[in-house]
Structure 1
Amino acid sequence: ARPHGIFVTDMGTIYIADRENHRVMKWTSGASVGIRVAGDGTAGNSLTQVMSPTDVIVDENELIYISEVGNSRITRWTSGSFTGVCIVACSATVGNKPTQLREPHSLAFDSFGSLYVSNWANSRVQQFQILNYPVSFNQPKFLSNTTWSKCGITFVDKKTLASKVRGIFIDLNDTLYVADYMKNRILIWSNQSVHQPRQLNASLYEFTPLFVTLNGDIYFENGEKTGEIRKFTSSSTESKFITRLSTNCFGLFVDIRNTLYCSRHENHLVVKVLLTSDNHTEINIAGAGKAGSGSYELDQPMGIFVDFNYHLYVADGLNNRIQLFRRGDLNGRTVAGKNIPEGLTLRYPSDVTGDGNGFLYIADNQQHRIVRVGNSEFECIAGCSMRSGSSLNQLYHPHTVYFDSVGNLYVGDEWNFRVQIFR
């Protein structure tokens, strides 16, 4: 009722701000029936609702931006999500301060990613720089001189875990997830609590990675069926089938478009699957399907990381390097290892992640250390003796790296059967 702003994509998909029905609707080209992509159809200020939307725009990443005149805020929604994220005027108060809006109407982006809002009741147009893409993991920004303690703190060890620590994940709420495959369970510690963890029971592949999406879905590989990816929804104790891949995944990632990436270690490939499609065809995006060291080849790829531009970083195990594959490019570029940068050598890197400044953090598995790379430099930040061991300043085949919300570094210390925190 009383539709307001509309947006049409290059593919002819139409988005409409359906103001009095408190929702945003989407019609694909030629469709006679639309689908609701934002709002639950009721007025309110929760993040499941949009109140009197007046405009909608969609960026190249299919992120949906909505101006809500009823809530005097701007929210952003990912495709397929039931909740939005407030990105402008999030104090729940109306006003004329630079951080406030009063009955915003129209939206527009410029070529640099700045968002312009026509703030109707304040008789002004405001510009906002939108940089925080909605990812489910932490990417803190650090000062150039940031350091971490050389001695880690053991969060959990073999007193609790029966398995070598490989699959771990930390979400935006600092909830820690650990795959304990020998006992067929995923252990979950909320908000860094050291108390008894929540437990989800499932058969786990011994090298299964874990990935948790914004809505709390936990993705893992089934230990009983090669390549079968399953997930627990945020409130369920029973996992559900998602897709079946050709071989095991040693790295797993799900981007904001609900595309699943799998590092197929045995086939020297990284593939992706569009989970929004009925046809879960594997699409090769890195590697030639045979071991090799060329720019287009991989040799036992391990952990993977996808940035907000959909560029892919691969821990290229036996090639002792980190490869960057830009979106749509099958030729990679070495960004760490093989004397890049400044003579850096890696030995079987098993994981890579990035911070908010674009620096990379690498689990240098067989040199028992964590390395940071950026600005054409590298430094060791944990396990810097490069000798395996179980002391607090040592690691023993570190497998996985993640950050919490305040920048503490979590390491899946594989052969020590523990998770170490470096503050």
Structure 2
Amino acid sequence: MNAHHLRAIILKLQDRLSGDDRKRLHFFFGQDVPRRIRDDPSLGGTLSLMECLFDQDKINEENFTFLIHAFEAIQCVDAAKLLREHMRQIQPNEIKQSMRSLAEIMPITIKQLLDDQQDDKYGTQRCEFSLPDSNIYDNNKVVTNSNDADISPTTAIIDNQTTPPLQLKRKQIFSTTLILWICLCLFFVMLIILLGAISRIYIRRELQNNLQLKENILAERKKCNETIQRLNDKLKYGHGVRNIPWIAVDARWSSNGVTVAGGNGKGNATNQLNHPSDLFVDGDQIVVIADFDNHRIIQWKKGDANGQIIAGGNGEGNRLDQLDHPSSVLIDKETDSVIICDRLNRRVVRWSRRSNATTGEILLNKVHCRVLAMDDQKHLYVSDTEKYEVRRYQLGDQSGMLVAGGNGQGNGTNQFQWPTHLFVDRQQNVYVSDNSNHRIMKWNKGAKEGIIVAGDQSEGNTLTQSNYPEGILVDALGTIYVADSWNHRVMRWPQGSKQGTMIVGENDSGAGANRLNSPRGLFFDEHGNLYVVDCYNNRIQRFSIE
């Protein structure tokens, strides 16, 4: 087949391919051709793809089976039909090629067959007669008779009608047998070629199917892993939700804490804190701290000696690059940012955790916030010490919804004296540290008043009392953990219990590893290790679960 005819076939193929067909074809051969050809589904790009397949000997002038399979796989029926019709037209040429191959393998046999065909055409036979063997020399050059006379060999041309019948019959049988053997050989050769082609197509198709199946499995596995990671992040730390671990009712923590941030005295260096108020720990055990009197948010990576300022740190003020006594902080994993209670600026702001962020954005304004919490629906909860209430906000909403208090200052079950720290469980029940009433209140979702779940509403240091409680945590069993601030201890109150047990600290202040000085915020990591804001020791302590 000449190059002009081959190009005509390829141009006809191009006419049957739409833009989408070319894109699918290039995608199908994505692993067989260079990337520049794969990513160029234009007419010229498709011609380059064909040339590449010719160069790789995946197709040739007489065999387009590989390309036909590709068109069938991308459901381009017209192009596949055109190539099949073309291959049927060139089939006789393939038979001639097979005959040429046989002539190279069996030249004598094929020559004899062709000679017999020539003899049959003219109806004559050339025969050589010789004298009896007893009178013939080995070289057949001289024949002698009984009289020793020289006799030359005799050659005669005779007509078929004069050929001896037995010799003619033998020759006919020999010619017929030879033709049958040649036909049988041709049949087996063609059968082997056909079986080889079919096997090659089948193996290639199976390999491609297996490769595609493997790619699909890997893609699905990647999606599943990403989904699992997102769900884990959401369950652990997603959208600023504090971790709710499963902790045994008789669990114990080390009596000596390990300092993970600060602990180098009061100051504004990056290895110091100044009356920290709250904290949040992400899944990588990065501790983010509201450094109250340094007017900044600072984070400590695990094992680091110094922290990194990620918000504020530009002095006390109300500019968007400043904070004024930040009292609470959350991590919003979805936006990789921190949400901050900018207390004395009476606002809630959000700062990106990325190092190039220099200013924050205001989410809520004119709110005297003390502490923030967030549920798994991304509702933001704010304790307001001026209005003695807790409100729930949808991000972007400035008015919010009252969920606890709002009935003025007091010690009734529908009132607060000084609401500080919050905890929201998965049922959107809200736990509030009613600081100056020395109690922990639980407000069930939709309730008009709360119930006392820790403390007996009197100031003191017995196991039934609290003394200006601050941080709160609630585990999956409903056990409540309270930073009993002025008693310098952390208490555990099992669900429904009338008294607690001390798990960290003592009843008096101190700076030792087993002491606290006015603890504030609390946090559990995914393993159940307890992080405590040791406010007047200007450090963050971690107590490992045993």
Same fold (TM over 0.5): yes
Aligned to 1:210: 329
Higher strand share: 1
| Cα shift at 1:217 | 2.1
Q: Distance in 1 between matches of 2:366 and 2:450?
A: 23
> CA 1:375 to 1:269, structure 2 compared with 1: closer, same or farther past 3 Å?
closer
Q: Distance in 2 between matches of 1:207 and 1:364?
A: 21
Deviations 1:35-65 (A, max 9, x none): xxxxxxxxxxxxxxxxxxxxxxxxxxxxxxx
Aligned to 2:543: 422
Q: Which runs of 4+ in 1 moved over 3 A?
A: 72-76, 83-88, 130-137, 181-184
Q: Distance in 1 between matches of 2:413 and 2:227?
A: 39
User: Structure 2 counterpart of 1:358, which letter?
Assistant: G
> Is 1:307 the equivalent of 2:425?
yes
> CA 1:72 to 1:405, structure 2 compared with 1: closer, same or farther past 3 Å?
closer
Q: Distance in 1 between matches of 2:393 and 2:360?
A: 17
Q: Distance in 2 between matches of 1:415 and 1:338?
A: 26
Q: State how many pairs are aligned.
A: 304
Aligned to 1:382: 504
Runs of 5+ unmatched residues, structure 2: 1-216, 266-270, 313-321
> CA 1:87 to 1:218, structure 2 compared with 1: closer, same or farther past 3 Å?
closer
Higher helix share: 2
Q: 1:352 aligns with which of 472, 494, 498?
A: 472
Q: Which moved more, 1:232-241 or 1:258-267?
A: 232-241
| Cα shift at 1:138 | 2.7
> Is 1:268 the equivalent of 2:388?
yes
User: Structure 1 counterpart of 2:475, which letter?
Assistant: D
| Cα shift at 1:244 | 2.7
Aligned to 1:153: 258
Conservation of the 8 A alpha-carbon contact between 2:325 and 2:342: no
Aligned to 2:89: none
Q: Distance in 1 between matches of 2:531 and 2:291?
A: 16
Matched ranges for 1:203-282 at <5 A: 203-215=322-334, 216-222=336-342, 225-226=345-346, 228-235=347-354, 237-275=357-395, 277=396, 279-282=397-400
Conservation of the 8 A alpha-carbon contact between 2:290 and 2:326: no
TM-score by length of 2: 0.51
Q: Distance in 1 between matches of 2:535 and 2:391?
A: 25
Q: 2:526 aligns with which of 400, 405, 415?
A: 405
| Cα shift at 1:72 | 6.6
SS at match of 2:293: helix
Aligned to 1:179: 290
TM-score by length of 1: 0.65
Aligned to 1:142: 247
Conservation of the 8 A alpha-carbon contact between 1:311 and 1:327: yes
| Cα shift at 1:376 | 3.5
Deviations 1:9-34 (A, max 9, x none): xxxxxxxxxxxxxxxxxxxxxxxxxx
SS at match of 2:386: helix
User: Structure 1 counterpart of 2:283, which letter?
Assistant: L
Conservation of the 8 A alpha-carbon contact between 2:471 and 2:520: yes
> CA 1:131 to 1:214, structure 2 compared with 1: closer, same or farther past 3 Å?
closer
Q: Distance in 2 between matches of 1:379 and 1:399?
A: 18
> CA 1:330 to 1:242, structure 2 compared with 1: closer, same or farther past 3 Å?
farther
Over the matched positions of the two proteins, sequence identity in percent amounts to 24
Q: Distance in 1 between matches of 2:341 and 2:457?
A: 34
Conservation of the 8 A alpha-carbon contact between 1:181 and 1:204: no
The CA RMSD over aligned residues, in Å, is: 3.0
Deviations 1:396-419 (A, max 9, x none): 110111112222111101111111
| Cα shift at 1:205 | 3.4
Runs of 5+ unmatched residues, structure 1: 1-67, 77-82, 91-129
> CA 1:415 to 1:289, structure 2 compared with 1: closer, same or farther past 3 Å?
farther
SS at match of 1:393: coil
Structure with higher Rg: it is 2
